Amino acid sequence: METTDILKKVRKIEIKTRGLSSNIFAGQYHTAFKGRGMAFSEVREYQFGDDVRDIDWNVTARFHRPYVKVFEEERELTVMLMVDVSGSLDFGTVRQTKREMVTEIAATLAFSAIQNNDKIGVIFFSDRIEKYIPPKKGRKHILYIIREMLNFKPESRRTEIAQAVEFLMRVMKRRCTAFLLSDFYVRNDFENALTICNRKHDVVAIQVYDLRAKELPDVGLMKVRDAETGHETIIDTSSKRLRRQHTAYWLRRDDQLKQTFTKSSVDHVSIATNDDYVKHLIRLFEMRS
């Protein structure tokens, strides 16, 4: 992509996503994520209505009365965008590719973060860590992130999520809010890694998918290619049985993915490339408020 084309796209994304951050998400982002970065302050005696999960069992045992830990909200959050850059993100049959939608969503979250004086960083991953941009503040930093998302060329086309969340835990010593943006086309299980990561950090999963991954159109013979392995095959989409099997496979996979997020206690949202991601983000923010 030419430099001038990249700059035009960056500017277009900035105009759209900054407007969303300023108007539609004004206050909602802060309400949804404030208090997620908490620093330990002191202990005090338990009072009716306190969360039992905040009980300090060591102090309680010492004084033979229940004591709870008191936390104070940190003045700023650190937000990490964990962006899948594997080959499957290049697919798109309706308005845009999955990669383009992920870029817009990430930019919207980034502008929401800096409006709340939060730091923002990025981890680009495939089946390896492709690039790490440490958290910083400011518009210039965000524009650099968007440029990278638009023009980044990964070394690998495959996906490995467990490795990405393990890397997050290594580089982020203090608690952060991490948005995991992917289509979640993975062959290896990542539930355990995600569960451990979510205990230390506040992880939010955003799945982006294309409608054709869910429903095949009846268009006769079609050549399909696995974007991550390069394997090609011919399928007959006029077969009702094949189309039913395709949808059934999607539903099984989607159910397994939802179970993984539920077991890991990770908030998640699923967005199609032909859908309005704004309403889904608003619903996600409201759910967490």
pLDDT at 270: 95
Residues 133 and 165 in one domain: yes
pTM passes above 0.85: no
Residue 216 has what pLDDT? 78
Specify whether 126 is located in the same domain as 181: yes
Q: What angle do CA 134, 156, 190 make, to 5 degrees?
A: 70
Residue at a domain's end among 46, 73, 100: 73
- On whether both 135 and 51 belong to a single domain, the answer is no
Same domain for 245 and 264, yes or no, is yes
How far lies 11's CA from each of 81, 110, 119, 143, in Å? 20, 15, 21, 9
Calculate the CA 35 to chain-centre distance: 19
* Torsion region of 268: left, alpha or beta (phi above 0 gives left; psi -120 to 50 gives alpha): beta
- 150 and 242 share one domain: yes
CA 273 – CA 181 distance, rounded (Å): 13
Instruction: Say if residue 48 is in the same domain as residue 111.
Output: no
Range of the domain at 227: 3-32+75-288
Is the same domain home to 132 and 62? no
Q: Which of 107, 110, 138 is nearest to 16 (CA)?
A: 107
Q: Nearest-CA neighbor of 189 among 211, 163, 215, 208?
A: 163
The predicted-structure confidence for 54-99, as pLDDT tens digits, reads as follows 888 988 898 888 988 876 555 568 999 999 999 988 876 667 889 9
Burial of 142 (0-12, 13-18, 19+ CB in 10 A): buried
The CATH number covering residue 278 comes to 3.40.50.410
Question: Do residues 65 and 147 both lie within one domain?
Answer: no
CB count in 10 Å sphere of residue 186: 20
Number of domains in the chain: 2
Low-confidence ranges of the chain (pLDDT < 50): none
pLDDT of residue 186: 87
Local structure of residue 55 (DSSP, 8 states): B
**232 and 246 belong to one structural domain:** yes
pLDDT score recorded for residue 40: 56
Q: Are 129 and 59 contained in the same domain?
A: no
58 with 157, same domain: the answer is no
The reply to whether 151 and 219 lie within a common domain is yes
